[in-house]
């Protein structure tokens, strides 16, 4: 090969994964044919002209083992690549986060300026609309800002995607931060008059949200339909305002809290640690305050 050919070969783009896999499968198929030819030749020789001192059974057994390995490798390469468990969990968390963000953002858009009873009715109607297959597909396949902008145009709402997403994200975090008593307002709803809000316990906010999202992971794992999964998630999140459930979430370690709360929602408690791990993956994608506040500097 000339120097020019060597340079051209080194600069050639790598073959796509599908092309390489197809070439490997062709080579394996050819190798299997060669191994079968060897096995048939050994059989023919053993039957028609056996040579003294040759163990034809052993020879065929060696070829058979080689053929079996070739077929196993061929079968493995013919399957789609499998995701590692943590990669699959990350993908599920990302899809769930996107669906939740879009749902909460559209809830903020449709309830903007509405009083609480009307805001709750509008939010429920919007959430039900987003379960329609064509809209669920739009949410699933589009980045959240694009999905919100397109949905706003479809429903005749102001195309302020970033604003609605900010309100929805704040409402999602507030689901974990709000006190147990009282009724939660839909995102964007006008707040009811009352005393000044207390200072938010950042560690408590993250702890409560960690438990809620872990229960959401358990719901996703046990629910095949994504619309039904979202419905069950929001129903569970609303139930977490109950004082007895909130007390468990706030006072127990996350895995213990999830294990104790799973039966309340018809979920298996045995994999609580797995649900908490998936929740942590989800929370890692959100811009939340740290679980523990930083220690003050040592001034001596």
Is the pLDDT at 15 greater than 70? The verdict is no
Could you tell me which residue, 124 or 177, shows the higher pLDDT?
A: 124
Task: Name the pTM for this structure.
Answer: 0.40
What are the pLDDT digits (tens) for 157-215? 998 989 998 888 887 776 654 444 333 445 555 444 444 444 445 566 677 888 888 88
Could you tell me which residue, 190 or 72, shows the higher pLDDT?
A: 72
Closest CA to 118 of 107, 103, 129: 107
What are the pLDDT digits (tens) for 47-58? 888 888 888 888
Is the pLDDT at 276 greater than 50? The verdict is yes
Residue 152: the pLDDT is 92
């Amino acid at each position: 090969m000339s120097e020019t050919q060597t340079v051209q070969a080194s600069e050639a783009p790598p073959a796509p994964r599908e092309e390489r896999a197809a070439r490997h499968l062709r080579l394996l198929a050819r190798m299997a044919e060669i191994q079968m030819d060897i096995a048939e030749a050994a059989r023919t020789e053993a039957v028609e002209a056996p040579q003294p001192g040759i163990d034809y059974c052993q020879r065929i057994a060696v070829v058979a083992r080689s053929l079996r390995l070739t077929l196993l490798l061929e079968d493995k390469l013919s399957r789609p690549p499998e995701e590692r468990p943590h990669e699959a969990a990350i993908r599920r968390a990302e899809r769930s986060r996107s669906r939740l963000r879009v749902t909460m953002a559209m809830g903020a858009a449709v309830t903007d300026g509405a009083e609480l009873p009307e805001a709750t009715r509008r939010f429920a109607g919007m959430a039900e609309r987003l379960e329609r297959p064509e809209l669920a597909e739009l949410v699933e396949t589009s980045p959240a800002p694009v999905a919100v902008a397109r949905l706003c145009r479809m429903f005749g709402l102001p195309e302020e995607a970033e604003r609605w997403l900010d309100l929805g994200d704040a409402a999602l975090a507030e689901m974990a931060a709000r006190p147990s008593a009282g009724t939660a307002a839909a995102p964007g709803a006008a707040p009811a008059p009352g005393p000044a809000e207390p200072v938010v316990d950042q560690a408590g906010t993250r702890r409560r949200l960690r438990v809620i999202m872990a229960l959401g992971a358990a719901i996703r794992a046990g629910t095949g339909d994504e619309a039904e999964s979202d419905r069950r998630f929001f129903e569970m999140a609303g139930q977490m305002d109950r004082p007895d459930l909130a007390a468990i979430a706030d006072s127990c370690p996350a895995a213990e809290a999830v294990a104790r709360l799973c039966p309340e929602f018809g979920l298996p408690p045995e994999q609580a640690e797995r649900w908490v791990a998936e929740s942590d993956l989800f929370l890692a994608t959100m811009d939340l305050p740290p679980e523990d506040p930083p220690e003050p500097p040592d001034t001596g």
